[in-house]
């Protein structure tokens, strides 16, 4: 399994996205398209970016009743993305339904991963607002096991949780880790963060990097720094 830096294309529209991508000239990237861009531009933005030769992680974090998730995934499977996801909080039934919907008649499908707890959620808020009276580690690990049992390929988690997830679910269970910053003072709304080098040391398979690249004065240089620290 190859390690890769996935750039979170959290842009408001196609124009801003294409402006950003043009900076990279012929470099083939792995890009995350999330709700903001997908909801503003629709599936065409996925086709357009794919046509440019980039890989795509479609980050729509599906969470609904199993029947709806299965059918939504069936629609998304036509887009031929490389990776997509659901919320593990939707239960194993829902994750299994998502997997069924995503799988084509020939048995192929994108990598399907589950979101455990968002990296912006602190344990305090999880306890106070969600009434989940466990440690965040216990919740992440339990959700990861559920995802594994449902047949998913891996989870989105904090780099700080990678080692424990691998221990529980096996080394081939993929960990996709956002919450990446070059310096801790740039955390923004992320709570549990690490540097690209630290994520590598902790064994992440993919890091998801948004603002440290997209809001940088020199995005290409910031991307190369991530690749250098995480992959090379
Ligand atoms: O800009 P930043 O590097 O914080 O972007 C992180 C990206 O990863 C965002 O697109 C965010 O939605 C996503 N993400 C996250 N935490 C999760 C799952 C996804 O930050 N648990």
For residue 35, how far is its CA from the centre of ligand 1 (angstroms)? Answer: 11
Q: What does the alpha-carbon distance between residue 40 and residue 33 come to, in Å, rounded to a whole number?
A: 11
Nearest CA to ligand 1 atom 5: 210
Mutate to test the pocket of ligand 1, among 115, 188, 206, 210 (most ligand atoms within 8 A of CB): 210
Nearest CA to ligand 1 atom 3: 210
| pTM score of the predicted model | 0.94
Protein residues with CB under 6 Å of any ligand 1 atom: 8, 10, 34, 115, 118-119, 156, 178-180, 190, 208-212
For residue 147, how far is its CA from the centre of ligand 1 (angstroms)? Answer: 19
Ligand 1 nearest-atom number relative to CA 117: 21
For residue 106, how far is its CA from the centre of ligand 1 (angstroms)? Answer: 32
Nearest CA to ligand 1 atom 2: 210
Across 214-220, average pLDDT? 97
The CA-atom distances, in angstroms, between 157 and each of 46, 144, 146, 174, 208 are: 24, 9, 14, 10, 10
Whether 121 has a pLDDT exceeding 90, the answer reads no
Secondary structure of 35-65 as H, E, C letters: HHHHHHHCCHHHHHHHHCCCEEEEEEEECCC
Nearest CA to ligand 1 atom 21: 118
Mutate to test the pocket of ligand 1, among 6, 7, 8 (most ligand atoms within 8 A of CB): 8
Across 1-12, average pLDDT? 92
Across 101-108, average pLDDT? 96
For residue 65, how far is its CA from the centre of ligand 1 (angstroms)? Answer: 24
- Please write the tens of the pLDDT for every residue from 159-179: 988 999 999 999 999 999 998
Q: What does the alpha-carbon distance between residue 160 and residue 180 come to, in Å, rounded to a whole number?
A: 11
- Please write the tens of the pLDDT for every residue from 23-44: 999 899 999 999 999 999 999 9
For residue 105, how far is its CA from the centre of ligand 1 (angstroms)? Answer: 32
Q: What does the alpha-carbon distance between residue 2 and residue 67 come to, in Å, rounded to a whole number?
A: 33
Mean pLDDT for the chain? 94
Residue whose entry in the numeric block shows the structure tokens 């029947």: 67
Whether 191 has a pLDDT exceeding 70, the answer reads no
- To the nearest 10 degrees (0 to 180), the angle between helices 92-102 and 136-149 is 40
| Catalytic residue IDs | 61
Ligand 1 nearest-atom number relative to CA 158: 21
């Amino acid at each position: 399994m190859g390690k890769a830096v996935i750039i979170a294309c959290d842009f408001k529209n196609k124009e801003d996205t294409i402006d950003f991508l043009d900076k990279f000239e012929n470099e083939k990237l792995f890009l995350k398209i999330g709700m903001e861009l997908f909801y503003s531009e629709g599936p065409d933005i996925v086709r357009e970016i794919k046509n440019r030769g980039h890989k795509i992680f479609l980050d729509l974090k599906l969470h609904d009743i199993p029947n709806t998730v299965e059918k939504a995934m069936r629609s998304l499977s036509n887009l031929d993305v490389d990776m997509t996801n659901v919320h593990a909080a939707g239960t194993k039934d829902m994750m299994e339904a998502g997997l069924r919907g995503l799988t084509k008649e020939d048995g192929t499908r994108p990598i399907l991963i589950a979101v455990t707890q968002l990296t912006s959620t602190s344990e305090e808020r999880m306890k106070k607002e969600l009434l989940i009276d466990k440690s965040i580690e216990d919740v992440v690990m339990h959700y990861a096991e559920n995802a594994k049992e449902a047949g998913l390929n891996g989870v989105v988690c904090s780099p700080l949780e990678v080692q424990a997830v691998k221990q529980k679910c096996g080394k081939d269970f993929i960990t996709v880790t956002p919450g990446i910053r070059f310096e801790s003072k740039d955390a923004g709304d992320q709570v549990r963060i690490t540097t690209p080098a630290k994520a590598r040391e902790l064994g992440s398979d993919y890091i998801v990097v948004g603002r440290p690249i997209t809001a940088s004065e020199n995005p290409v240089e910031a991307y190369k720094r991530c690749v250098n620290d995480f992959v090379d």
